[in-house]
Every structure is written in structure tokens, then in C-alpha cells.
Amino acid sequence: KIILKQKDEL
Amino acid sequence: MNIFRLTGDLSHLAAIIILLLKIWKTRSCAGISGKSQLLFALVFTTRYLDLFTSFISLYNTSMKLIYVACSYATVYLIYMKFKATYDGNHDTFRVEFLVVPVGGLSFLVNHDFSPLEILWTFSIYLESVAILPQLFMISKTGEAETITTHYLFFLGLYRALYLINWIWRYYFEGFFDLIAVVAGVVQTILYCDFFYLYVTKVLKGKKLSLPA
């Protein structure tokens, strides 16, 4: 599945 | 966390530290675009507001704090401490031509119409073009100090490594963020011309100077 809006990156 | 993401982050950190050290050791910010550094400070400020709302990991939080602190320290050195050495006459890129369209675009194209999400989107779009005042300054003066080119190399390498990280994450984690990827591609493309000069000149021991 495609996950959007994951803010674990810098 | 994969190896491309980690080396990307470390490359980003290296770039920031190289610039800070260059200014500190030479007591001069000659050849550095204060405008680009102001934009990067704005990028980090608007992106890392989630420091107040969510905790992801100690790594994530500490890197964010380091990036923000270093970017403000850089701006302070350029505009306050070593202001006399700042080459404002050559730093003439009109940043409103970047900030205004990027601001408008972040309102129009985002994942969610909420204040934090719009600011995050703004920071992603702005980061992709924030280096333009610096590249403009180099094209205007026709040269760059070697240490400045190392800074630019690591800054460009960081986003290029993130691109590989996103390909990796798409295949192995199903992770895909269209806004980050498109902005990341744009950002990396802006460095291509510079990468070419870096490899053909700087790595062969020559100073980076452009033909008149």
C-alpha cells in the first residue's frame, strides 16, 4: 500500500 | 532507516558543518549567499514545527535540533558577527520571486489543508530552490572558493541520496510521498551543472571558475 504523510524524514 | 537515508542525513550534516567551520576559521563569509542561508533557516523552521507536536525518535529529534541551531548560527555569523565580510553586492537574487510562488503553491498542492501540513509543504518546496541565490552569486562572480564547492557538493549529494532512499522505501516499505519526491528531483537537478564542474575541476585540484 502507498503511505502518505510520514514525517520521519528530515 | 536505510543506508541511503542515513548517508544522506550525514551528508547534509557535513555540508552544514563545513559551511559553519569555513566561516568561523576564516572569520569571513565572502562568497557565501546570506540569502540562501536565510532561506534554509526558514526551511528548517517551518518544517520542524512538528518537534512540538510529535516525537519520532531520539535520532530524529536531535538531528532536527542540530540542523535548526546550525542554520541560525550560520545566519548570525553572516549578518551579525562577520557582517563586514558579507558580499552583499553580489548577493542580489530576488528571494521574493522564490518565496511568493512557493508559498502560493504550498496552499494549492498539499497533502492536507492544515496549518502544519501547509508549512511542511512550503518548506519542502522552498528547500528545492533555496540554493538558487548561492548558485546565482557564483555565476555572477564567476568563481567559488574550493571549500564552498565542498559545501555545495555535500548539500547536493544529500538530496541525491534521498532520491535513492525513496526508491528503496517505495519497493521495500510501500512508502511514497509525491510532494517530497518531485521537489527532491527538482532540487537534485539544480545541482547537476555544479556536480559536473565539481568533478571536472575541483576534484582535479583546480579552482572552480566559470568562463567569462
Interface-testing mutation among A1, A4, A5, A9, with chain B (most B C-beta atoms within 10 A):
A9
% of chain B with per-residue pLDDT over 70:
100
Q: Give the tens place of pLDDT for each residue, B55-77.
A: 899 999 999 999 999 999 999 99
What backbone phi and psi angles, to 5 degrees, belong to B198?
-65, -45
Contact B116, B50 (CB under 8 A): yes
Which of B57, B67, B175 has its CB closest to that of A6? B175
Report strand pairing: B143-144 vs B208-209: antiparallel
How far is B64 from chain A, CA to nearest CA, in Å?
Answer: 7
pLDDT at A6: 60
Interchain CB contact of B117 with A (< 8 Å):
yes
Q: Give the tens place of pLDDT for each residue, B177-198.
A: 999 999 999 999 999 999 999 9
Across B80-102, average pLDDT? 97
If you search the block for the grid coordinates 556536480, which residue do you land on? B195
Interface-testing mutation among B175, B178, B179, B182, with chain A (most A C-beta atoms within 10 A):
B175
Contact B79, B23 (CB under 8 A): no
Indicate the average pLDDT of chain B: 96
pLDDT at B119: 96
3-state secondary structure B20-76: HHHHHHHCCCCCCCHHHHHHHHHHHHHHHHHHCCCCCCHHHHHHHHHHHHHHHHHHH
Contact B82, B23 (CB under 8 A): yes
pLDDT at A3: 45
Q: Which residues of A touch B117 (CB under 8 A)?
A: 5
Across B8-14, average pLDDT? 98
Interchain CB contact of B9 with A (< 8 Å):
yes
pLDDT confidence band for A7 (50 / 70 / 90): confident
pLDDT at B210: 84
CB pair distance less than 8 Å for B162 and A4: no
- CA dist., res. B149 & res. B38, Å (int): 19
Q: Give the tens place of pLDDT for each residue, B149-171.
A: 999 999 999 999 999 999 999 99
Cα three-residue angle B204-B209-B212, rounded to 5 degrees: 140
Q: Is pLDDT at A2 greater than 80 in this prediction?
A: no
Q: What interface predicted TM-score (ipTM) does this complex get?
A: 0.80
pLDDT confidence band for B101 (50 / 70 / 90): very high
pLDDT confidence band for B211 (50 / 70 / 90): confident
- CA dist., res. A8 & res. B55, Å (int): 9
Q: How many other C-beta atoms can be found within 10 angstroms of the C-beta atom of residue B200?
A: 11
- CA dist., res. B112 & res. B130, Å (int): 23
CB pair distance less than 8 Å for B174 and A2: yes
- CA dist., res. B138 & res. B208, Å (int): 9
Interchain CB contact of B5 with A (< 8 Å):
yes
Q: Is pLDDT at B105 greater than 90 in this prediction?
A: yes
- CA dist., res. B119 & res. B163, Å (int): 22
pLDDT at A5: 58
